[in-house]
Structure 1
């Protein structure tokens, strides 16, 4: 089932790839970017102080810091996003993994729920059923087998159409819509495989590339730290 393949890519495979990437590289990437932000902020602070001095105005550091906070909002936002990703990766790494048998059961149960409740496949479901499906997606993402078992029991086997003629009519009407759905899901799968984090899969399997990237990040971090030290010293001299 393509929908299940897509969801496994999004919620399991990609999440595991991103977790591994963040644990192996993410910490250094965060430090390097944080050091870059610090350097850029200090450099800008020098410019603002110099502008005040050129106009023979009093340098009020609290006012300058407020201006910098505003200018660097996007930088801080990205830093916060990276920190959230690191925290998510750490939480995921601490979770007890399912056994092979449990993983198989989780997929089987999720497949049943998808068939019964997926909004794209069942456009006439109620709001309550839609919320139940959202709970199933959350359980699948988190590997919560007990929750998935409960949801599966609530879904049951679904209504059974014994009238073969009515079933044929319904299937005929649904054919175009389902074909369109499958084509969209195929494109989504292709897109997922061309984007981060899936594109990091081969990179993470290459220990030499990993080590080179870590060395690059360590050099970048050191360079920005040196630049930050230079500008801190410059600011101290300007304020004497």
Structure 2
């Protein structure tokens, strides 16, 4: 593979440095998000379940009230079909949250030694097949697939996968043929990378870093979630009372929440 043309000034070095910095921050943000889910996931899931329970009951009330206003009886089968349709997006969101929580709980802690090796391998691969460093890579389906796998392994701190991928990348590059490349508009790209880095550091999930480092803030956050759950519990009781009024004393509705 031909060497990429590097400017004699410091632009190329700065560009490569910023790409590595951005990707490192993205990975840190990914890890902070997993830490956040591990810390608050149980409470967040419980809160969301209470929210969708209230939403379903509110939709039931609206459905029943509309039927009664038109002098019609409430068909339970039609009501259930209506609720399943209305609640589908919420159930999908809940399923995704459960899977995210389970994945966070399964993630393992990586040693400092392994983290350093992960960083070294990734930086070597960035020089060779990062599409922003070598745009010609985008023309190779094999190299792009390898790059996506490298990015995922880096985000997940999977040292073994990166070690194996480095071998595959070297094999793929042996058979690749690229002309010498320049990086067009490098100064503009540097400015954009600096903007992107600033945005990552100033927003969630990277900002979770500071919350998670403060034990008092963590406890305060948990208390806030519990307080919000209490409001939904109270609201749930109010909705039950409204349903009792609409459907008549002694009438029961069997809730089929399917909450995972």
TM-score class normalised by the smaller sequence: 0.7 to 0.9
CA distance in 2, matches of 1:210, 1:150: 39
SS of equivalent to 1:124:
helix
Alignment of 1:39-188 (within 5 A): 39-92=54-107, 95=108, 97-125=109-137, 126-156=140-170, 174=182, 176-188=184-196
Q: 2:11 corresponds to which residue?
A: none
2:27 paired with 1:8? no
The size of the alignment, in residue pairs, is: 225
* Structure in which a larger fraction of residues adopt helix: 1
Partners in 1 of 2:227 and 2:240 — Cα distance? 20
- 2:12 — aligned with what? none
In structure 2, the partner of 1:162 is none
User: What does residue 19 of structure 1 align with?
Assistant: 34
Is the 8 Å Cα contact of residues 121 and 178 (structure 1) preserved in structure 2? no
Deviation at residue 236 of structure 1 after TM alignment: 4.9
1: CA distance between counterparts of 2:159 and 2:214?
A: 33
- Distance in 1, matches of 2:169 and 2:97, equals 38
RMSD: 2.4
Q: 2:240 aligns with which of 209, 219, 232?
A: 232
Deviation beyond 6 Å, 4+ runs, structure 1:
none
With over 3 angstroms needed to count, the CA separation of the structure-2 counterparts of 1:175 and 1:50, relative to structure 1, is closer
The separation in 2 between residues aligned to 1:50 and 1:78, in whole angstroms, is 28
Gaps of 5+ in 2: 1-16, 252-260
How far 1:175 moved relative to its partner? 5.2
Gaps of 5+ in 1: 160-166
Q: Is the 8 A contact 2:63 2:79 kept in 1?
A: yes
Structure 1 stretch 128-137 or stretch 81-90: which is displaced more? 81-90
Cα distance in 1 between the residues matched to 2:38 and 2:111: 22
